[in-house]
């Protein structure tokens, strides 16, 4: 019975699509205004050589998996369908740009053929009324490469000199719990040099280089007694030189793989000729398993803390907060099982880790960790532009190795402001709490982390801290929310400088606190206020500035002075290029 209903639905859907595209739309449109200020349909797109129609934020449904979708841009050149891409699209002043408002496309998309399709405001797979009442549901209709209906909102009919506003964006296709640390561009029609694919696997080669220039503005006498002279750290460095490959093994349910490495020259000036070593910090295989779950095996990030899981170069600050760097590891070797509920409002992940492959000794001799995280979307607006995110994480270590908690003050070119020294503990438990609110271009995020150390000789200390961050994309872009991992995606670039746009501009700030003075430990207590400006000229080129004011309450690491309260401040400039 169910199969018969599905066949009937498919027949009705196909029939209605043909009917509406070839007959029903035209008589309706002829009585309506097509584009504000234009009365003749033939005047919408004049016959101009190499003119393009670029439609951003189009939702594409996989016919084999109607519950999965991808949002990308569609390009029509001289009435012919050209490509579908999530990359930047170069345009001229004569080209026409639309924002499809995440509408659903229906029609024929064959490269090099005359464009014939329409964009609906609802998914016709889920609501057939979208086909039965086209006057209410069609956002845009194109027949024979010509716009015959435009029902988009006025602000979405954007000229070629203004950046399109993105109502919502999604990234699809990555099944692993940990998002890619370097942005993997998705292009449906591409001959890029860094893409390879055959019948058995696909590969995408990526890279990133970040060049930093640090300048300390101020340091009082007590701060200098605590950590030494910060001006010795003024200068430039290669903060990150990363490279990697990611792709799919083309089984019926594809497996995803990631291999990524970096140089160890993070503390070296980029104007030196010192030779660099290379390390591989990610090697992971993501395998789809039963009930829409994924098994991730290899060296990877532990499933705890949104700030830790997101790639550093896509955070709203250049460096992670002190509490995140001090209390949570970068990566570990282990196995993670992750999943989500059917409503995509809850995610969960849990794993077991042991770094014996990266360290000397056996599994029994090295510490073993159990890590888990769960996130929840208690609220999401109908158009997905506003949401509230909550998360909780837990980490346990059996303490077979010495522990040490240390961090710089959110500048890489800096001495450690926080340092516990080596700790001999029996076990350790860490609790992580997350809360975020996002509304269009505004995003506020916060985390609190507490680590309880079972070390009787140190009166069983507890180390804790939190941060509250705020970001505003002043050019209007919105960070997408990844419902598979409970994290936010990189800031998209609506219109890059290569397209005569402004790029994407983001203003950020953060208040960060860490308390390492507890029990028998006097690691230091910091309060840091940060402000930043991030300019994405294109999706692959970023220029950013981060200023920080730092208060430190701690004894001196270089003398016998104690009860010191030092103050310092500085700024770091970064140029980031994604290859």
3-state secondary structure 524-544: EEEEEEEEEEEEEEECCEEEE
DSSP codes of every residue in 369-385: EEEEEEEEEEEE-TTSS
Average confidence (pLDDT) over 375-379: 97
Tokens of 126: 């889920």
pLDDT of residue 64: 63
524 sits in the region (left: phi over 0; alpha: psi -120 to 50; else beta) called left
Q: What is the CA radius of gyration of the chain?
A: 26
Residue partners of 359: CB distance under 8 A and separation at least 6: 366
* The pLDDT of residue 399 is above 80: yes
* Of residues 94 and 186, more confidently modeled: 94
Q: Are 373 and 390 in contact (CB under 8 A)?
A: no
The pLDDT assigned to 500 comes to: 84
What distance in Å separates the CA atoms of residue 469 and residue 321, rounded to the nearest whole number? 10
Q: What pLDDT, on a 0 to 100 scale, did the predictor assign at position 257?
A: 93
pLDDT greater than 60 at residue 259: yes
In the chain, the percentage of residues whose pLDDT exceeds 70 is 78
Distance of CA 189 to the CA centre of its chain: 23
Rounded Cα–Cα distance for residues 76 and 84 (Å): 9
Q: What is the mean pLDDT of the chain?
A: 81
| pLDDT (average), residues 15-33 | 40
* DSSP tag of 316: S
Pick the closest to residue 488 from 464, 467, 471, 512 (CA basis).
Answer: 471
pLDDT in tens, 485-506: 999 989 988 888 988 889 999 9
pLDDT digits (tens, 9 = 90+) for 196-218: 888 899 888 888 999 999 999 99
pLDDT of residue 91: 65
What pLDDT does residue 180 have?
60
pLDDT one-digit tens code per residue, 272-317: 334 456 778 889 999 999 998 999 999 999 999 999 999 888 899 9
pLDDT tens per residue across span 517-534? 999 999 999 999 999 999
d(CA 206, CA 557): 41
Least confident of 23-27, 180-184, 294-298, 436-440: 23-27
Q: What is the number of other CB atoms lying within 10 angstroms of the CB of residue 420?
A: 19
pLDDT at 40: 38
Indicate if the pLDDT at residue 155 is higher than 50.
no
Task: Report the range of poorest mean pLDDT among 137-146, 290-299, 342-351, 527-536.
Answer: 137-146
* 177, 216 Cβ separation under 8 angstroms: no
Read off the pLDDT of each residue in 9-20 and give the average, rounded to a whole number. Answer: 46
Q: How many CB atoms lie within 10 A of CB 283?
A: 18
String of DSSP letters for 96-117? EEEE-TTPEEEEE--TTSBPEE
Contact status, residue 218 vs residue 569, Cβ threshold 8 Å: yes
Q: Which residues pair with 466 in a beta bridge?
A: 448, 513
Domains and their CATH numbers in the chain: 2-158 (2.30.40.10), 195-578 (2.40.160.10)
Provide the 3-class DSSP secondary structure of residue 189.
coil
DSSP H or E segment with residue 450:
strand 442-454
The H or E element containing residue 27 is helix 25-29
Over residues 257-282, the mean pLDDT reads 62
User: Residues, the chain, total?
Assistant: 579
Tokens 């797109």 — which residue?
45
pLDDT of the residue at 255: 94
């Amino acid at each position: 019975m169910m199969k018969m209903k599905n066949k009937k639905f498919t027949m009705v859907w196909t029939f209605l699509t043909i009917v509406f595209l070839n007959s029903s739309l035209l008589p309706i449109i002829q009585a309506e205004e097509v584009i504000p200020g234009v009365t003749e349909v033939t005047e919408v797109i004049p016959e101009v050589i190499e003119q393009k129609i670029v439609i951003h934020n189009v939702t594409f449904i996989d016919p084999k998996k109607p519950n999965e979708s991808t949002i990308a841009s569609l390009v029509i050149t001289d009435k012919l369908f050209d490509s579908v891409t999530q990359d930047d699209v170069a345009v001229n002043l004569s080209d026409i740009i639309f924002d499809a408002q995440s509408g659903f496309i229906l029609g024929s998309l064959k490269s090099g053929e005359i464009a014939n399709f329409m964009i609906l405001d609802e998914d016709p797979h889920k609501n057939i009324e979208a086909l039965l009442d086209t006057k209410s549901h069609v956002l845009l209709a194109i027949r024979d490469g010509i716009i015959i209906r435009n029902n988009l909102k006025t602000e979405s009919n954007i000229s070629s000199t203004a950046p399109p506003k993105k109502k919502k964006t999604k990234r699809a296709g990555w099944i692993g719990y940990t998002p890619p640390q370097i942005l993997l561009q998705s292009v449906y029609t591409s001959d890029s040099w860094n893409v390879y694919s055959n019948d058995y696997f696909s590969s995408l080669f990526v890279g990133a280089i970040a060049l930093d220039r640090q300048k300390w503005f101020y340091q009082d006498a007590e701060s200098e007694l605590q950590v030494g002279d910060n001006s010795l750290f003024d200068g430039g460095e290669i903060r990150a030189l990363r490279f990697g490959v990611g792709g799919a093994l083309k089984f019926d349910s594809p497996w995803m793989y990631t291999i990524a490495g970096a140089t160890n020259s993070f503390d070296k000036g980029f104007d030196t000729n010192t030779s660099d070593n290379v390390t591989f910090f990610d090697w992971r295989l993501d395998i789809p398993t039963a009930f829409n779950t994924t098994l991730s095996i290899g060296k990877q990030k532990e499933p705890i803390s949104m700030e830790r899981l997101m790639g550093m170069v896509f955070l709203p600050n250049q460096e992670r907060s002190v509490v995140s760097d001090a209390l949570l590891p970068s990566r570990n070797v282990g196995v993670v099982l992750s999943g989500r509920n059917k409503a995509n409002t809850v995610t969960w992940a849990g794993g077991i880790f042991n770094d014996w492959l990266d360290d000397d000794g056996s599994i029994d001799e090295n510490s073993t960790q159990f890590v888990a995280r769960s996130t929840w979307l208690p609220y999401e607006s109908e158009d997905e532009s506003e949401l509230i995110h909550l998360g909780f994480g837990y980490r346990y270590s059996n303490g077979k190795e010495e522990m040490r908690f240390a961090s710089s003050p959110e500048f890489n070119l800096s001495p450690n402001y926080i340092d516990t020294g080596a700790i001999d503990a029996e076990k350790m438990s860490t609790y992580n709490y997350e809360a975020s609110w996002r509304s269009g271009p505004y995003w506020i995020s916060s985390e609190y982390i507490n680590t309880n150390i079972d070390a009787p000789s140190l009166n069983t200390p507890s180390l804790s801290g939190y941060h509250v961050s705020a970001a505003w994309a002043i050019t209007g872009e919105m960070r997408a929310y990844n419902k598979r991992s409970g994290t936010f995606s990189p800031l998209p670039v609506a219109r890059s400088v290569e397209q005569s746009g402004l790029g994407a501009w983001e203003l950020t700030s953060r208040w960060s606190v860490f308390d390492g003075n507890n029990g028998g430990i006097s690691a230091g207590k910091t309060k840091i206020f940060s402000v930043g400006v991030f300019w994405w000229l294109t999706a692959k080129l970023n220029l950013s500035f981060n200023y920080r004011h730092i208060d430190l309450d701690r004894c001196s690491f270089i003398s016998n002075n104690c009860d010191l309260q030092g103050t310092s401040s500085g700024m770091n400039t970064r140029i980031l290029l994604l290859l």
